[in-house]
Structure 1
């Protein structure tokens, strides 16, 4: 477990930024919580470097999505701006444009207060999809990435290597016996059986199951 942790989290230089960005996109945590956690785990110099890298990657990802979505909405924005100019009562929209550049979705999202612990993220995303359309697209893409891989299953779960789909009809007693036998073999440093012996054992086991 320590080797797996060092592989994915021990070296800040090789740390996958999408893992941290996924936490930032949670309105319960955002960037302020992730930065605090980084300060707790790493020393000062490494924490400063990792925080800067995270913010840079987050802004770059947001700008890339905004550029892609902006090209598709360019014609729509031009027509909507034209209608606003014609219906600009008291020149209100002209005042907004002259008052300075508007903040981006990312800045607005990060500046808002954190949500409560009992938040339903799916409902929150649906309610705020009109305000954060670009961030919503990023959330759907980033959170769709599966976080579990075969390596973690092999490291943390023994049952997954014994109770597989091909052995789904094993009784609990047989599963316990297989797991215990594997532990005993490791303790006594005995070599595992060759592949052809395993095939014979599986055939014998299947015949027993069919008889039952």
Structure 2
């Protein structure tokens, strides 16, 4: 048992070392948690390596943010804001947006990046914002953090797992094999999705909870008898 426990411990330590950098970056971009929560999680795993792991996350955030600081992005953003302010549909909103842009320019002149300013700001209260729409927060603050909001949008669009896509490909391999390589796309989609479509249907009364799979079972015996008869005649 001691040898087995030692082997299991090595496995666990291997998986704990393989932490997700992009997932940690996404947590930092949540205004309720930022770097403090990431450091807290790393400390619970291993307090000796927490600071080193946190430094990796910070460095990757800075490197990624520099990719968004390109002239074309700034130009397109300024043009977009200029067009929006010239619409005249809501003068008060346009004036506030111009003020936000002005404030953002003042803050950038201090020598700190948008990422630095965001990390230095106080975190939002997690208890008073339990269901915060993070993307909505960055949309509302896109004028203060134009490039950082674009980076956040792209980071949050990264899937956190590949299980769903891998599962779809494995199921597809069982349906489209070497003997069925010419199956029509519509038929392949139907065979992939039929069970989800059927089980997702609701009853006529709208409850959908008393769905019985036995009702959709098809008796294949008559078809098998016909196939056996054809095979016998062929032989």
TM-score by length of 1: 0.54
Q: Which one of the candidate residues 18, 38, 62 is aligned to 1:34?
A: 38
1:108 is aligned to 2:121: no
Measured against aligned partners, the alpha-carbon deviations of 1:15-71 in whole angstroms (never above 9, x if no partner) come to: 331110011111111112111121112x222222211111111111111222x3x35
Partner Cα distance (2:26, 2:153) in 1? 10
Structure 2 residues not aligned, in runs of 5+: 1-7, 79-105, 168-191, 200-210, 224-235
Partner Cα distance (1:39, 1:101) in 2? 33
Partner Cα distance (1:203, 1:62) in 2? 60
Q: Which one of the candidate residues 66, 89, 95 is aligned to 1:63?
A: 66
Task: Return the offset for 1:166.
Answer: 2.0
Task: Return the offset for 1:127.
Answer: 2.0
Once the two structures are superposed, the pairs formed by residues 176-195 of structure 1 within 5 Å of their partners are: none
The match for 2:158 is: 145
1:15 is aligned to 2:28: no
Partner Cα distance (1:20, 1:152) in 2? 22
Pairwise CA RMSD of aligned residues? 3.9
The match for 2:146 is: 133
Relative to structure 1, is the Cα distance of residues 15 and 203 closer, same or farther in structure 2, using a 3 angstrom cutoff?
farther
Partner Cα distance (1:16, 1:148) in 2? 10
8 A contact 2:21–2:57 mirrored in 1? yes
8 A contact 2:39–2:51 mirrored in 1? no
Tell me the secondary structure at the aligned position of residue 49 of structure 1: helix
**Greater RCO structure (CA 8 Å; 6+ sep):** 1
Tell me the secondary structure at the aligned position of residue 36 of structure 1: helix
The match for 1:165 is: 193
